[in-house]
Amino acid sequence: MKKRNIVLLILLLLAIDQAIKIYVKTHFYYGEECYVFGQDWFRLHFLENPGMAWGLKFGEGYLAKVVLILFRLAAIVWGTFYIKKMISKGYAKIFIICAAFIYAGALGNLIDGAFFGIIFEKSDPALQNIAKIFPSGGGYSGFLNGNVVDMWFFPIIDTRLPDWLPQWGGNKFTFFDPVFNTADVWISTGVISLLIFQNKRRKDLKISNKKKSKYIEGNGTVLNNDQ
């Protein structure tokens, strides 16, 4: 697979991710929510995440944020060399595409954390303001101290558990509860697809080896392990 095609794919995925994030950041106030196509289970819900996926963090404060950004940067550098290696060694196209999805997602979230604090006005939940891009007074934080923009929310099940249920009775239950972004979708798509195709490849290889073994036994062929 040509390097140019992979670069174009990564740039396309990155452009989609950043365009959606910039639109949400400059058209929604923090916490604002809208129903996509009028569907209750498909919503745009603007939140900002100072940490990793699912709100995980290395700690609190600027130092923790820098560590997170450096961790993402190291993953991007490693991913760059690994994708080059996959292409040069002739890996199957599907595996390279999966790696490109993961790479684009990681790069998208890295850009948020590195630059969004510089170029965007703060989205204040109390003021419910619509943030401006490149505000005259500067951004809401410095380099490497920005937040990741999240927006996709799929509460497919949003209900109240029956009172007779032990321990959880009467509590609100939502599935799927986390709010995530398009970069997270790229990463998840790449990882899940990679696992599926890797598992399929192992099964196909196992079946192929069994057929080869039966063919050899049927023809009375003896394999020399030294050859």
Secondary structure string (H, E, C) spanning the chain: CCHHHHHHHHHHHHHHHHHHHHHHHHHCCCCCEEEHHHCCCCEEEEEEECCCHHHCCCCCHHHHHHHHHHHHHHHHHHHHHHHHHHHHCCCCHHHHHHHHHHHHHHHHHHHHHHHHHHHECCCCCCCCCCCCECCCCCCCCCCCCCCEEEEEECCCEEEECCCCCCCCCCCEEEECCCEECHHHHHHHHHHHHHHHHHHHHHHHHHHHHHHHHHHHHHCCCCCCCCC
Global pTM reads 0.83
User: Nearest Cα to 205, choosing from 102, 92, 101?
Assistant: 92
Those residues with Cβ within 8 angstroms of residue 31's Cβ, 6 or more apart along the chain or in another chain = 45, 46, 47, 125, 128
Q: Which of 112, 124, 150, 177 is catalytic?
A: 150
Task: Give the pLDDT score at 181.
Answer: 95
Q: Are 139 and 118 in contact (CB under 8 A)?
A: yes
Those residues with Cβ within 8 angstroms of residue 26's Cβ, 6 or more apart along the chain or in another chain = 120, 130, 131, 132, 133
Residue type, 153: F
Task: Give the pLDDT score at 208.
Answer: 64
Quick: pLDDT tens for 207-226. 766 666 666 666 655 444 44
Task: Give the pLDDT score at 151.
Answer: 96
Quick: pLDDT tens for 120-145. 999 999 999 999 999 998 999 988 88
Regarding beta strands 157-160 and 148-153, do their DSSP bridges make them parallel or antiparallel, or are they unpaired?
unpaired
Q: Which of 124, 158, 177, 184 is catalytic?
A: 184
Task: Give the pLDDT score at 215.
Answer: 60
112 annotated active-site: no
Q: Are 56 and 159 in contact (CB under 8 A)?
A: no
Q: Are 130 and 30 in contact (CB under 8 A)?
A: no
pLDDT less than 70: residues of the chain: 51-62, 204-206, 208-227
150 annotated active-site: yes
User: Nearest Cα to 103, choosing from 66, 67, 77?
Assistant: 77
Task: Give the pLDDT score at 223.
Answer: 47
